[in-house]
Amino acid sequence: MAAKRNLDRWAPWIFLVVLLLVWEFGVRLFRIDEFVLPTASASFRALYDNFGPILMNTWPTFWTTMVGFGIGIVVGVLIGVLIGSSRLMYNGLYPLLVAFNAIPKAAFVPILVVWFGIGVVPATLTAFLICFFPITVNVATGLATIEPELEDVLRALGASRADVLIKVGLPRSIPYFFASLKVAITLAFVGSVVSELTAANEGIGQLMLAASSTMRVPLMFAGLIVISIMAMVMYVAFAALERRMTGWAHRGMNMPG
Amino acid sequence: MSHPAFVAFDRVSLAYDETSGYAVEDITLSIGSGEFIAIVGPSGCGKSTFMKLCTGLKAPTQGTVRVDGKGVAGPLKIVGMAFQAPNLLPWRTTLDNVLLPLEIVQPYRASFKHKHDEYVARARKLLETVGLEGSEGKFPWQLSGGMQQRASICRALIHEPQLLMLDEPFGALDAFTREELWLVLRDLWQERRFTVVLVTHDLREAVFLADTVYCMSRRPGKIVARRAIDLPRPRDLEVTYSEHFIGIVHELRAHIGRVRKG
Ligand SMILES: Nc1ncnc2c1ncn2[C@@H]1O[C@H](COP(=O)(O)OP(=O)(O)OP(=O)(O)O)[C@@H](O)[C@H]1O
Ligand SMILES: [Mg+2]
């Protein structure tokens, strides 16, 4: 039993090590050129060698992502509450949101550049645009799936719609909200980096673009590693926050994943 | 028993939508103040629909519903309800679940903050009467199904409603727990004399608890029989083994049988 639980805990690390080994020795075995696919060790070496410039570019990426994510939370929750608590809003807005979500967010970058110029604004906004949707959907789901009988109990007490929202709807949607944050934060990184690739002066995206123009492929992979580490750390942080805030949900009600 | 009418249905019909026809049809009955009635009938016959009409959660398509002398328009605001599923809020402790109605219903709502201690004491007392002392601080998922249902009944009664609506409240419980809760409900009712509408599939439950039992027909639901239960009160579980009791149950069973064939 205990051994199995230990295995569960270590599984991500074991898989990571296996992946790195396959990467390293796969590249060596097939003698793949460094300009095509560098080895894991070469990528980490590039990370180490360029630590200064990478760090300088990591900070802006992190920062713009977090601001975009913050806006995404505010807007996502607001729209989620709106469509989750009103059938009219749900019917009217939901299809539009789905349509909007289907647009590749990279396609917004040139427009944002026209509006705001090159810099941190397009990256922030792209992060926001890509990450608010899952938050909206989850919050709305949490609100819209209140047991009808429970709603009857409350309405027969004379509860207003605001009462139902405050006493039941919002607390009920909190686990859904936190579940969506984990997804949203990783998407936000996608948004900001995609935008930086074309419309920024700094950031990991720019660093990778510069590395590409000089064919420094290991450095590009170092950039990818940094992005995934950042996203992973934030994911774990929000997963931990979720567990803290919504312990009751894991036993008390069925939860989305 | 003669009670002043508290709930009066006058030729009430309800259709949920235009196409499917009436869910309940031409229901006329009156429930006295402090009377305990039970409604039995086959599944889908409109028992829950009757509850919704009674509490104003649904407006009748035809006819009128009067409660406490006033025509019902919109949810009543004073009713306590409990269903087969306890529907407790998993993020609240048992105590806080029971207190929920006091956060909503006036006049408690206005004084909830400064009379908090008083209300907590009241909730504790109520929980004690249903045998939940010691579980106040537990969360619903830490309670058994029967305990959750007790808490759910406390939640329905904490604001001392004049009307208690119970929709198969003991349907999901085992036979022993069920009979135990009959006694809990009996004692609460005996003490406070609120008006009760109990929907149930269990004829023994209906006969044991109610003053009057109504049988409904299959959809569209009509009242096909009304049976006053003349067993003396207070009733003990012993009475359920008496010939008279069994006779009434058989009589009702015959009505249901006819309804199901017809
Ligand atoms: N919201 C609704 N919209 C449309 N039809 C409904 C709705 N609720 C109930 N009905 C229909 O009305 C009829 C009566 O339903 P109701 O829930 O009152 O039955 P019931 O007697 O409570 O059944 P059960 O014993 O299974 O709980 C059923 O045929 C059902 O399909
Ligand atoms: Mg029902």
Residue at token pair 């998922």 = B141
Measured by CA distance, the residue closest to atom 16 of ligand 1 is B46
- Which residues, 6 or more positions from B34, have their beta carbon under 8 angstroms from its beta carbon? B3, B6, B193, B194, B195
Which SS3 state, helix, strand or coil, does residue B137 take? coil
Per DSSP, the three-state class of A90 is: helix
Under 8 Å between Cβ of B245 and B231:
yes
Go through the domains of chain B in sequence order and give each one's CATH number. 1-78+163-171+179-262 (3.40.50.300), 88-161 (no CATH)
Locate the ligand 1 atom nearest the alpha carbon of residue B47 and give its number.
Answer: 21
pLDDT digits (tens, 9 = 90+) for A22-56: 999 999 999 998 888 999 999 999 999 999 999 99
**Cβ pair A153:B82 closer than 8 A:** yes
The residue count of chain B comes to 262
Q: CB distance B139–A253 less than 8 Å?
A: no
Q: How far apart are CA A171 and CA A101, in angstroms?
A: 26
Q: Is the CB of B44 under 6 A from ligand 1?
A: yes
Kindly give the number of the ligand 1 atom that is closest to the alpha carbon of B41: 21
Cα-Cα-Cα-Cα torsion A56, A62, A67, A69, nearest 10 degrees, comes to 160
- Does the Cβ of B49 fall within 6 Å of ligand 1? yes
If you average pLDDT over residues A178-192, what whole number do you get?
A: 94
User: What tokens were used for B251?
Assistant: 């009589």
Q: Max CA-CA distance within chain A?
A: 74
The DSSP output letter for B217 is P
DSSP 8-state class, residue A202 = S
pLDDT digits (tens, 9 = 90+) for A10-25: 998 999 999 999 999 9
Continuous H helices in B133-218: 145-157, 175-192, 203-209
- CB contact burial A158-183 (16+ within 10 A = b; e otherwise): bbeeebbbebbbbbbbbbbbbbbbbb
Element (H, E) at B82: strand B79-83
As a whole number, mean pLDDT of residues B74-91 equals 88
CA-wise closest residue to A156 among B223, B100, B186: B100
How far apart CA B98 and CA B151 sit, in angstroms, is 7
Q: Which atom of ligand 1 is nearest to the CA of B201?
A: 25
Which residues from B are below 8 Å from A156, CB to CB? 55-57, 75-77, 79-81, 165
CA A171 to ligand 2 center in whole angstroms: 27
Residue of A nearest to B155 (CA): A153
- Tell me what pLDDT residue A251 has: 63
Closest C-alpha among B192, B157, B152 to residue B171: B152
Question: CA torsion sign, A81 to A84 to A87 to A93?
Answer: positive
Within 8 A by CB and 6+ apart from A74, the residues are: none
Kindly tell me the number of DSSP H helices and DSSP E strands found in chain B.
8, 10
> Which of B57, B91, B141 comes nearest A156 by C-beta?
B57
Q: List the structure tokens of A41.
A: 């060790």
Select from A100, A73, A79, A69 the least CA-distant residue to A187. A69
Per-residue confidence (pLDDT) for residue A62, from 0 to 100: 96
Contact B22, B198 (CB under 8 A): no
Answer yes or no: do A147 and B87 touch at CB < 8 A.
yes
Q: Give me the sign of the Cα torsion angle B153, B156, B157, B159.
A: positive
Residue A91 has what pLDDT? Answer: 92
Smallest Cα–Cα separation from A73: which of A200, A177, A198? A177
Question: Taking CB atoms and an 8 Å limit, are B89 and A171 in contact across chains?
Answer: yes
Estimate to the nearest angstrom the gap between the alpha carbon of A72 and the chain centroid: 10
Judge: A163–B104 Cβ closer than 8 Å, yes or no.
Answer: yes
pLDDT in tens, A42-91: 999 999 999 999 999 999 999 999 999 999 999 999 999 999 988 899 99
Report whether the peptide linkage leading into residue B60 is cis, meaning its omega lies within 30 degrees of zero.
no
Distance CA B21, CA A123 (A): 57
Q: Among B30-44, B74-88, B135-149, whose mean pLDDT is lowest? A: B74-88
A interface residues, B as partner, C-beta within 8 Å: 147, 149-150, 152-159, 163, 167-168, 171-172, 174, 248-249, 251-253
Kindly state the greatest CA–CA separation across chain B: 58
pLDDT tier at A1 (50, 70, 90 boundaries)?
Answer: low
- For tokens 């009217």, the residue is A92
Contact residues for B167 (Cβ-Cβ < 8 A; gap 6+): A149, B47, B48, B51, B81, B82, B83, B84, B199
Domains annotated on chain A, with CATH: 43-249 (1.10.3720.10)
Q: Which residue has the tokens 């913050």?
A: A70
ipTM of the complex: 0.83
For the cut 50, the answer to whether the pLDDT of residue A254 exceeds it is: no
Residue B103 contacts A where some CB pair is shorter than 8 Å:
yes
pLDDT at B21 over 70: yes
- Assign B81 to helix, strand or coil: strand
> Which of B13, B19, B24, B48 has the most ligand 1 atoms within 8 A of CB, as the residue to mutate?
B48
Q: CB neighbours (10 Å) of residue B251?
A: 15
pLDDT score at B237: 93
pLDDT surpasses 50 at A255:
no
Residue-wise pLDDT for B162-206, tens only, equals 999 999 999 888 888 889 889 999 999 999 899 999 999 899 999
Question: Which residues 150-189 on chain B approach chain A with CB closer than 8 angstroms?
Answer: 155-156, 159, 165, 167
Angstrom distance (rounded) from CA A120 to CA B251 = 81
Are A157 and B159 in contact (CB < 8 Å)? yes
Decide if B55 and A163 are in contact by the 8 Å CB cutoff: no
For residue A69, give the amino acid letter. F
CB atoms within 10 A of CB A236: 12
Closest partner CB to A156 (pick from B75, B87, B139): B75
Question: Chains A and B: how many Cβ contacts under 8 Å?
Answer: 74
Residue A238 reports pLDDT greater than 80: yes
